[in-house]
Structure formats: structure tokens, C-alpha cells
């Protein structure tokens, strides 16, 4: 088992904050107000910077994500806007070059945006719309819905966090959004059709309405809260089957959560019992005043149970975590302000252990790690470099 | 935007160290304290202006109450920057404690207290006590009269006056714009205008970067002029936004002044119109000065308290404050709770200690002794006659006159009918039926009024809730559709009926369990809407058919007097920007 350095990509003129893969294409963004696209022409050649997108944001570009079909790139910046770029690869464009066109700008949040995330294709659910979530230092998470090839509308403004929101991520298998924040908590939000879909699947005759019939004013609601960290939760990641959630924090620990259906049902029943005691059968809360109470005092963990907690994983703040999406064994990469990259894997006893450690992977704080195809791992850091590593199992 | 129960001023994060007070205009006396204790004494006259002489009017008496400022503003547009600490002080000054004090010192201070009750508060209390809205009106009136209030009025009358003023303003603007641009209301085909990065509306940008400072100044002066001049009507006046939601006004003044303020309707909201009318009338009736009348209005949100302290509605413009204090439905519920507690005590069902404990639990600042004394003083007060005037109440049949509406006053429906008759010349029964179309859920709706030949139309939009406001502004930016009139209310689902100051669902549940009239959360919300309008307790009467309203309007607000109804808005963006980044850190 090894993690070997394959490429070091220079070019950014300031801190590189995030990297994201689109198939074999790597993109990075940073404090130099630019987005850089790195590609290999052939397997045998080196990575080259094939495109630079600058002059699109007025301040640091903090986060970027490719959409599920690889056609759009979203960049979120400290200037409180998100730019949506349409990507036409050279094979499809007229002049044999990759082209990026800024088709939309999303604005409205008041403070610096910290993270952006596209929704995946939820195969087993009736919700077929495409969403983009972004979170900000103004304690809110905004979910935008793509309504046409170049336009977005706000689907929901989610509030409840009591501190800056650092990271957002959608679950790959169900319409659930997870946000992590400076208030040491991870909050779970779900689309209102989630319960209806589940009831329909269970053959519950009361069942819910279909997504298209829902006439709700609230499209996304608070579902639960995980408050197990003792410091800022910097990043989260889902496994490919959506049943494992990993979170890392400035308290230098990593927590692995597992979703238990029975737990979820139990908690729902508990809630029901409490209401029964008050002789009132509660349903979904409508109206702002009741909703506010619910999302403030929410105690439920929405079925997530701690499977394992690893303390002192890094010597300083852990900045990012990513679960490998194409491995049968649970494989996790983390990076931190201690300039280290760690790889963890599930062993025979289903316990997650650190298997590889790369000290001084970068010359300074490492801001992001993300898995790509073919066992590649990309990382970026304050040392202005983007590095690509090859993982051998 | 946060719906947190406490507005946290000292945000600790790795960007800025904790600050004592966000507003740089305010310096707390005790700089070493970690708690925020700001009193009115800490501030001088300049604190209430934003540097150019416009601002808010605080209470004239300076009390040395060392009250801790509770920065609690449960309003969905309140955010860490929007409501400054000064505004929070102003809101907290209009407390129940203050009201009790005023009512008990009435005779000494030579004041007369009057109360006007909004239909939303009435609906909230009716749901809380499980009574009909008419009974709620009477019960609330009795409650206040027992405390020594002179008379209690129905604020839906003020709403009818507001609608009439709004209708006249909108009709006049539409006529003027048609003269300038003949095809302004013509039905246009949708143009596929793509949003280009470079062509984005400059005015929607929060951080404008003009290359030429003079250009910026010129544009600002031009916009200020357009905002304040009464006669000038241009494309910039449309679409017209209503100004009766104080949270929306706050958002517009602080974040989008250049874009929105020229388009805001200048008619002052209903509580101020009612205040003007009542103060004039009651002063004349009792042969007193308007300044001696203390007007309290019962509303469904806390931001109305802020609206009441606006300078434009105070002594500088009128010689007296139109609304002296606003109490929310929650505070009215507190008064009902006091009533209950004292009734039980006097029947002998409760010991004195327990009574005092329960009293303090509801509101720790109010002294039960003082409260009881007030009740004793006013034991013989009867409900005086004046409450029957200026109201939509039918005392004979014990019903209430109303339009069929959703929670904030039926503004669009009223204008639809007015414009149908007076602009497109339909006969009353010819006007096409109102058919709202959902643009995104029930909180973002569109209504089109077509002319007889179907060639012209007036486009009304109704928007509730912050996220839909953002969606609307975005739609306006892309310029694909033209809107002419927009009703914006900050509270989602049912606007003012769902305001931040309404009695909370769990309180209603508890009380209803006591009264053996149990309902679950969803049913309570339905009941609230019923108590705002239903076929049984209400009689449909359109506001234009209210002859009393027409008479009053004719006498006090028509022709040259129309300008009394008009107010001004101000660009408060500078304040807000300073607060947004007080240490000017670039992270």
C-alpha cells in the first residue's frame, strides 16, 4: 500500500483552496482570483494547465465543484457570488479548444461563501431536479434549483446554524444535504418529498404526495443535528452508498457515522410519543413560528449513529476529508494544517485504521484532498501547489 | 438571516475578534465589560442619525433604567447586520413594562391612552382563547379598558384608508406613465434575453465600483430627487412596491436603496394613518392636544415597533407621534395571563406567593402590586361608545366586515378591482375573476388584469418570505417580464398572520388543552387563518363600499391633504456597509 507523488502542478500565484475532478480533468481555485484547468493530453504526457479563468470574481475563489454530468462548473467566492460556467470540451467545440462560458451568477448572500456543491442524480427518488447548495459566513445555507440551461431560482434559504457555515454536501443516494459549521455541529436537511417517497415505497396507503403535487412553501426542512465535535467542523464526506458519513474538525478528530434505519424510525417514534403525551398528534410543522422552534431545538440525529471516533488524527486542524467512491473497502483521505496527508482504510475487523501517512506532503497547510478516477488523489495547499498522487492498494 | 432566538453581536470566529458592539456609532461607557449593556444614556442625539440628520425618534423621557439590551428580534429578515443595536434599543423600549407604566401614570402625566387592534392580533387571540373573532375584539377591548385605556379601535379601518390611499396613488401613477409611454401596459411577447456577466444590472450590485466619483454622485442625486419628488413619474417608478411591511422597508433601505426606493409606494402604513386620524379625533372629542394622546397599536410583529419610531411618523413631521408604542400579540397574551392569575388569586384559589411567582414567570419586570392597583383604580370603567366608530364591526349581528384575504390586507385584490373599474373601465360585475397563478409555490404568485380588448394588462405580483423576495429581484434583473405592482411581505406562508410577534403554536396548544379544545399544530394554523377570515363570522364587504371610510378619506386626506399620507424613505446603506465589515478586514 502506497501513495506516490505523480505530478506537482505550479502556476497559482497565491493559496490554492480547492481542487475538483471531472473525469480526467482537474480544476483548482485560489486566492489569486483564478480557476485553473489541468489536463493530460495522453496517458504518457504530463499535466498541463490548459485553461485559466480569471476576471470572474472580485475576491478569493474559495470553492469549486463540477455538476454531475460534467457540463457545468460552479465557483464560489468571498465576494458572495457563485459563477456558473458551461464547459464545452474541445472535442465538441468548433475551434478544437475547451471553452468555458459564464452563463449565470448567483448572488444574495451577505458574506463570504465558503463552499458550493451540486446535487447528484438520486436514482431511487422521484425528485429529478438539479440543485446547487452554497453556504456562507452569514450562517445560512442557500439551495438553488436549476430551472433552465442558464438560470437558477432559490429553492430554500436554510437557517439554524449558530456560526459560519463551512462546508455543504449532498448525499449521493437520497435528497439530503449536510452542512457543517463553526458552531461545532453538523446539520442535516432533507427535501420535503423524502418522507413521502419513503412512505410510498413501504406501501403505506396513507403515503405521501408526489414531488409534483407538493405545494409546500418550504421545500427543504431541518431533519437532524450531530453535535459530537468540540470545535469547528471543517468538512464532511459521504460514502458512495450514502450510508456512511465522515466528519473532520478543528478538534483534530475524525468521526465516522453510520445510518441506521431502525434508529431513524425509533427517533421518529420517540417524537411521536412525546406528542402523544401532550395529547396532540403532530404532523409537519407549518408556519414560521413553529418551524423556527423545530430547527432551533432539534435533537434528533436523523438516524445517524457514531460508528467510530479517531482522536488526534492530525497534529493540527484537519482541513478536508474525502471518501473514495470506488473501493469495496472504506478508504478515506484526510489533510490538515500539519502539512500531512493520511489515508485510512477499513481492516478485517471493520475498524478504520490509518494505513498511510505522508508528512510534509506540502510545504504548508493543505486545504483540500479529493479522490479522482483510477486511484488518483489530488491535493492543494497554502504553498500554491496542486499535487496529484497515485494510490496503490 | 437568522431565526435565532438571540441576536448574537459578539460573534467569535477566526476572522474578527469579538467586539462589544457592532455599530461603530455607539461607544459603550464601560469598555471593559464583556456584556452588552447599552442604555439610552450612552447615546446622544447623533447616535440616532446616520450622519445626515435622518433617523429615528427615541422616547423623550430619559430613564435611568439599567436594562440589559436583549437583542431579540424574531423577524425573518433580521440578520447580523440589518438590525443595528440602536434599533434593538428602540424596539425594546416599547415594552409591556413601559406600557403598564404609562397607563398607571396617565393622570399624573395628563395623558389619555388609546389602543388600536389589528385583525391579525385579533385572530391570534381568538385562536388562543378558542372564541370567535368578534368575541376576541370585545374581550381585548375589555382587557384594556380595565387597565385604564380610554378606548379600543379596529385597525382594519386604518387598513381600508391605506388601501384607498394606495389605490389613488397607483391609479395616478399609471395614468401619468401612460401619457409618457403610450404602450407601457401593452401585452408584450416574452423576449429571450440571456443574462450576460457584463450586462448585469449595476444597481443590484452591493459593491459598486464606479470609475468616476462624479458619475456616482450624479446618479445618487438623481435617484434621491426621484424618490422624493411627488410629481415625477418615470419607468423608474415601476414596478411599485408596497411599503407597509417594515422588515421589507428595512431590507430595501439597507441593501437595495438605489434599486427599490424610487419604486416604493409613498403611502404610510395603516397603523400610522389610524394614529393620525384617532389622535385628531380623540383630541377634539376631549378638548385636548394631540400630544396628550398616547396611541398604542396591537400588531403581529416586532418590526412594527421600529416603524413606529421612524422620524417621518413623529414630532418633526406632524408635531406629535402617530404611534407611541406597538405591542405584539405575545404581549397581549401576557396581559391575558396576568388577568387569569389575578382572578384566581382573588377567588382564593392561589396563595399570594404563588401568584407573585407566576406573575414574574410571565414577565419579570412587571410588579404584581402595581398591576393590581391599576385594576382597582379603573374598576368602574365601562366600554365607552367611541369604539363603535371607525370600525368594521357589525354590533347588531356580532359579525365583522371584511374582504376575503390571506393575511396582510388583500392589497393586490383591492387594486385589481380599482384598476379594473377606473383604469380599464369595466363595470363592477364585469371585472374578470381573480385568478392567482403560482410562480413558485403559494408564496410567489402572479395576477394579470387584462383590458377589455385584451391588448393591455397590469401585472400584479404577491411575494411572501425572504427567499421569494430574492427570487423576485433576480427575475426583475433578467427583465423578461414586466411587473407593475408588487406586494411584498417578509413573513412566509400567510404574511402578517404568521408574523414574528404572533402567539407561538406551543403556547396556543397549552392553553387549548386547559380549555379542552385540543388541536394539533397543523390544525392551529388552519384555525388561525379561519379566525382571520371565514364565511361564518365575517360578512364580505369590500372596503370601497365602507361609507364611513369614504367620508373620512374625503374629509381628511383628499385633494391638497393627500400629501399627509405620503412619507419618505432614506438610503441607509452606508450604515449597513460600515457594520458589515467594521474592522475593514479583507479575508
Q: Give the pLDDT of residue B409.
A: 67
Q: Output the nine-digit C-alpha cell for B84.
A: 443595528
Could you tell me the residue ranges of all domains in chain A? 2-192+208-392
Contact B473, A153 (CB under 8 A): no
Please answer yes or no on whether B471 and A153 come within 8 Å at the CB atom.
yes
Measure CB to CB from residue B467 to each of A154, A284, A287 and give the nearest one: A154
pLDDT tens figures, A140-153: 999 999 998 888 99
Res. B421: pLDDT tops 60: yes
CA–CA dist B138, A218 (Å, integer): 36
* Cα B577 versus chain centre, distance: 24
Partners of B13 on chain A (C-beta within 8 Å) are 137, 163-164, 182
Q: Which residue of A has its CA nearest to B478?
A: A151
Helix or strand (DSSP H, E) at A17: strand A16-22
Please answer yes or no on whether A164 and B13 come within 8 Å at the CB atom.
yes
DSSP string, B378-395: TTT----GGGGSSS-EET
Across the beta sheet with A386-392, the strand order is: A2-9, A386-392, A376-381, A366-371
Handedness of CA B264, B265, B267, B271 (dihedral sign): negative
Q: Give the pLDDT of residue B579.
A: 54
Contact B472, B499 (CB under 8 A): no
Q: Give the pLDDT of residue A383.
A: 95
Of B264, B241, B238, B259, which is closest to residue B185 (Cα–Cα)? B238
Mark out the alpha helices in B187-320 (DSSP H runs): 213-228, 246-255, 257-260, 270-286, 303-308, 315-318
Partners of A142 on chain B (C-beta within 8 Å) are 467
Please answer yes or no on whether A278 and B509 come within 8 Å at the CB atom.
yes
Measure CB to CB from residue A182 to each of B13, B466, B518 and give the nearest one: B13
ipTM, two decimals, is 0.85
Please answer yes or no on whether B509 and A290 come within 8 Å at the CB atom.
no
Q: How many CB atoms sit inside 10 A of residue A351's CB?
A: 12
Q: Is the entire prediction scored with pTM above 0.80?
A: yes
Residue found under cell 400588531: B299
Of A111, A228, A121, A236, which is closest to residue A174 (Cα–Cα)? A121
Please answer yes or no on whether A286 and B493 come within 8 Å at the CB atom.
yes
Q: Which residues, in sequence order, are CB contacts of B518 under 8 Å at separation 6+? A: A279, A280, B509, B512
Res. B234: pLDDT tops 90: no
CATH fold group of domain A2-192+208-392: Methylamine Dehydrogenase; Chain H (2.130.10)
Bridge partners of residue B115, in order along the sequence: B152, B296
CA angle B525–B528–B533, rounded 5-degree value: 130
Q: What is the CA radius of gyration of chain B?
A: 24
Q: Which residue of A has its CA nearest to B200?
A: A105
10 Å CB burial of residue B229 (0-12, 13-18, 19+) is exposed
pLDDT tens figures, B482-522: 899 999 998 888 888 888 888 888 888 889 988 888 888 77
CA–CA dist B270, B272 (Å, integer): 5
Contact B531, B115 (CB under 8 A): no
Contact B504, A289 (CB under 8 A): yes
pLDDT tens figures, B313-350: 988 889 999 999 999 999 999 999 998 888 888 888 88
Q: Give the pLDDT of residue B241.
A: 95
CA–CA dist A114, A29 (Å, integer): 12
CA–CA dist B573, B241 (Å, integer): 19
Helix or strand (DSSP H, E) at B177: helix B156-180
Partners of A151 on chain B (C-beta within 8 Å) are 195, 478
Res. B91: pLDDT tops 60: yes
Q: Which residues, in sequence order, are CB contacts of B453 under 8 Å at separation 6+? A: none
Is residue A23 left, alpha or beta, with left meaning phi > 0 and alpha meaning psi from -120 to 50?
A: left
Q: Give the pLDDT of residue B53.
A: 39
Whether omega before B525 lies within 30 degrees of 0, making that bond cis, reads no
CA–CA dist B432, B445 (Å, integer): 17
Q: Output the nine-digit C-alpha cell for A172.
A: 449521493
CA–CA dist B150, B115 (Å, integer): 8
Please answer yes or no on whether B4 and A112 come within 8 Å at the CB atom.
no
| pLDDT band of B221, cuts 50, 70, 90 | low
Q: Give the pLDDT of residue B56.
A: 62
pLDDT tens figures, A43-89: 788 899 999 998 899 999 999 999 999 999 999 999 999 999 999 98
Mutate which of A138, A217, A231, A234 to disrupt the B interface (most B C-beta within 10 Å)? A217
Q: Give the pLDDT of residue A90.
A: 82
Q: Which residues of chain A have pLDDT under 50?
A: 205-208, 275-296
State mean pLDDT over B547-551.
89
Mark out the alpha helices in A282-359 (DSSP H runs): 288-296
Count H helices, E strands: chain B?
A: 21, 12
Of A233, B274, A339, B453, which is closest to residue B282 (Cα–Cα)? B274
Amino acid at each position: 500500500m502506497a501513495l506516490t507523488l505523480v505530478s506537482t502542478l505550479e502556476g497559482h500565484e497565491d493559496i490554492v483552496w480547492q481542487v475538483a475532478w471531472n473525469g480526467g480533468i482537474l480544476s483548482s481555485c485560489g486566492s489569486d482570483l483564478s480557476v485553473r484547468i489541468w489536463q493530460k493530453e495522453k496517458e504518457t504526457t504530463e499535466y498541463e494547465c490548459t485553461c485559466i479563468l480569471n476576471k470572474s470574481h472580485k475576491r478569493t475563489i474559495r470553492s469549486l465543484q463540477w455538476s454531475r454530468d460534467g457540463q457545468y462548473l460552479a465557483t464560489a467566492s468571498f465576494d458572495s457570488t457563485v459563477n456558473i460556467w458551461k464547459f464545452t470540451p474541445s472535442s465538441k467545440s468548433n475551434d478544437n479548444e475547451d471553452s468555458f462560458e459564464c452563463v449565470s451568477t448567483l448572488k444574495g448572500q451577505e458574506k463570504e461563501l465558503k463552499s458550493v456543491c451540486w446535487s447528484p442524480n438520486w436514482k431511487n427518488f422521484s425528485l429529478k431536479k438539479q440543485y446547487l447548495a452554497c453556504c456562507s459566513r452569514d450562517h445560512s445555507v442557500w439551495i438553488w434549483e436549476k430551472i433552465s440551461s442558464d438560470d437558477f431560482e432559490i429553492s430554500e434559504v436554510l437557517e439554524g446554524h449558530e456560526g459560519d457555515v463551512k462546508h455543504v454536501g449532498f448525499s449521493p443516494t437520497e435528497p439530503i444535504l449536510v452542512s457543517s459549521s463553526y458552531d461545532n455541529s453538523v446539520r442535516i436537511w432533507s427535501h420535503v418529498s423524502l418522507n413521502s417517497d419513503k412512505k410510498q415505497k413501504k406501501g403505506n396507503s396513507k403515503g405521501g404526495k408526489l414531488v409534483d403535487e407538493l405545494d409546500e412553501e418550504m421545500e427543504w426542512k431541518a431533519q437532524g443535528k450531530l453535535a459530537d465535535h468540540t470545535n469547528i467542523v471543517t468538512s464532511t464526506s459521504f460514502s458512495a452508498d450514502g450510508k456512511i458519513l465522515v466528519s473532520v474538525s478543528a478538534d483534530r478528530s475524525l468521526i465516522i457515522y453510520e445510518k441506521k434505519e431502525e434508529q431513524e424510525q425509533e427517533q421518529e417514534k420517540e417524537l411521536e410519543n412525546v406528542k402523544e403525551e401532550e395529547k396532540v398528534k403532530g404532523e409537519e410543522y407549518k408556519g414560521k413560528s413553529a418551524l423556527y422552534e423545530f430547527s432551533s431545538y432539534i435533537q434528533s440525529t436523523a438516524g445517524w449513529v457514531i460508528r467510530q471516533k479517531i482522536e488526534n488524527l492530525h497534529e493540527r486542524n484537519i482541513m478536508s476529508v474525502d471518501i473514495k467512491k470506488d473501493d469495496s473497502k472504506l478508504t478515506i483521505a484526510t489533510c490538515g494544517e500539519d502539512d500531512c496527508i493520511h489515508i485510512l482504510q477499513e481492516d478485517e475487523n471493520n475498524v478504520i485504521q490509518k494505513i498511510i501517512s505522508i508528512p510534509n506532503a506540502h510545504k504548508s497547510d493543505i486545504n483540500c484532498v479529493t479522490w479522482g478516477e483510477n486511484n488518483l488523489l489530488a491535493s492543494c495547499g497554502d504553498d500554491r501547489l496542486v499535487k496529484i498522487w497515485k494510490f496503490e492498494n | 438571516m437568522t431565526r435565532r432566538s438571540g441576536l448574537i453581536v459578539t460573534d467569535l470566529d477566526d476572522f474578527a475578534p469579538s467586539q462589544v458592539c457592532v455599530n461603530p456609532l455607539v461607544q459603550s461607557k464601560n469598555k471593559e465589560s464583556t456584556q452588552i449593556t447599552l442604555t439610552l444614556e450612552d447615546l446622544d442625539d447623533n447616535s440616532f442619525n446616520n450622519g445626515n440628520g435622518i433617523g429615528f425618534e427615541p422616547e423623550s423621557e430619559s430613564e435611568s433604567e439599567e436594562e440589559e439590551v436583549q437583542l431579540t428580534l424574531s423577524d425573518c429578515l433580521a440578520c447580523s447586520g440589518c438590525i443595528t443595536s440602536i434599533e434593538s434599543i428602540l424596539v425594546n423600549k416599547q415594552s409591556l413594562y413601559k406600557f403598564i407604566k404609562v397607563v398607571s401614570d396617565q393622570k399624573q402625566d395628563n395623558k389619555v391612552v388609546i389602543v388600536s387592534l389589528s385583525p391579525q392580533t385579533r385572530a391570534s387571540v381568538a385562536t388562543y382563547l378558542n372564541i370567535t373573532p368578534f368575541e376576541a375584539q370585545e374581550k381585548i377591548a375589555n382587557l384594556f379598558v380595565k387597565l385604564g385605556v380610554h378606548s379600543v379601535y379596529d385597525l382594519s379601518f386604518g387598513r381600508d384608508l391605506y388601501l384607498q390611499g394606495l389605490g389613488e396613488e397607483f391609479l395616478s401613477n399609471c395614468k401619468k406613465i401612460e401619457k409618457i409611454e403610450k404602450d407601457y401596459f401593452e401585452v408584450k411577447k416574452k423576449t429571450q434575453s440571456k443574462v450576460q456577466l457584463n450586462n448585469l444590472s449595476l444597481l443590484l450590485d452591493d459593491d459598486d465600483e464606479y470609475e468616476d466619483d462624479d458619475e456616482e454622485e450624479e446618479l445618487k442625486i438623481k435617484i434621491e430627487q426621484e424618490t422624493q419628488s411627488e410629481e415625477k413619474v418615470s419607468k423608474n417608478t415601476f414596478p411599485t412596491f408596497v411599503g407597509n411591511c417594515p422588515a421589507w422597508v428595512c431590507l430595501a433601505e439597507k441593501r437595495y436603496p438605489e434599486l427599490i426606493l424610487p419604486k416604493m409606494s409613498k403611502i404610510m402604513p395603516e397603523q400610522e394613518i389610524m394614529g393620525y386620524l384617532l389622535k385628531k379625533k380623540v383630541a377634539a372629542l376631549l378638548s385636548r392636544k394631540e400630544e396628550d394622546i398616547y396611541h398604542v397599536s396591537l400588531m403581529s410583529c416586532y418590526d412594527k415597533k421600529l416603524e413606529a419610531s421612524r422620524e417621518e411618523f413623529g414630532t418633526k413631521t406632524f408635531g406629535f407621534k402617530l404611534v407611541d408604542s406597538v405591542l405584539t400579540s405575545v404581549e397581549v397574551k401576557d396581559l391575558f395571563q396576568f388577568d387569569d392569575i389575578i382572578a384566581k388569586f382573588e377567588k382564593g384559589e392561589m396563595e399570594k406567593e404563588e401568584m407573585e411567582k407566576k406573575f414574574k414567570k410571565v414577565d419579570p419586570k412587571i410588579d404584581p402590586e402595581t398591576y393590581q392597583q391599576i385594576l382597582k383604580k379603573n374598576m368602574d370603567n365601562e366600554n365607552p361608545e367611541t369604539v363603535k366608530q371607525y370600525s368594521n364591526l357589525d354590533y347588531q349581528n356580532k359579525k365583522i366586515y371584511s374582504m376575503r384575504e390571506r393575511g396582510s390586507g388583500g392589497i393586490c385584490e383591492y387594486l385589481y378591482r380599482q384598476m379594473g373599474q377606473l383604469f380599464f373601465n369595466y363595470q363592477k360585475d364585469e371585472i374578470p375573476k381573480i385568478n392567482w397563478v403560482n410562480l413558485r409555490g403559494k408564496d410567489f404568485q402572479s395576477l394579470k388584469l387584462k383590458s377589455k380588448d385584451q391588448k393591455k394588462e397590469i401585472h400584479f405580483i404577491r411575494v411572501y418570505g425572504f427567499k421569494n423576495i430574492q427570487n423576485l429581484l433576480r427575475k426583475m434583473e433578467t427583465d423578461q417580464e414586466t411587473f407593475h405592482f408588487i406586494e411584498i411581505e417578509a413573513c412566509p406562508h400567510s404574511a402578517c398572520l404568521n408574523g414574528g410577534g404572533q402567539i407561538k403554536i406551543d403556547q396556543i396548544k397549552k392553553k387549548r388543552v386547559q380549555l379542552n379544545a385540543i388541536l394539533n399544530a397543523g390544525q392551529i394554523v388552519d384555525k388561525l387563518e379561519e379566525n382571520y377570515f371565514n364565511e361564518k363570522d365575517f360578512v364580505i364587504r369590500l372596503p370601497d363600499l365602507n361609507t364611513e371610510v369614504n367620508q373620512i378619506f374625503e374629509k381628511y386626506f383628499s385633494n391638497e391633504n393627500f400629501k399627509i399620507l405620503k412619507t419618505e424613505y432614506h438610503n441607509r446603506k452606508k450604515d449597513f456597509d460600515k457594520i458589515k465589515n467594521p474592522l475593514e478586514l479583507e479575508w
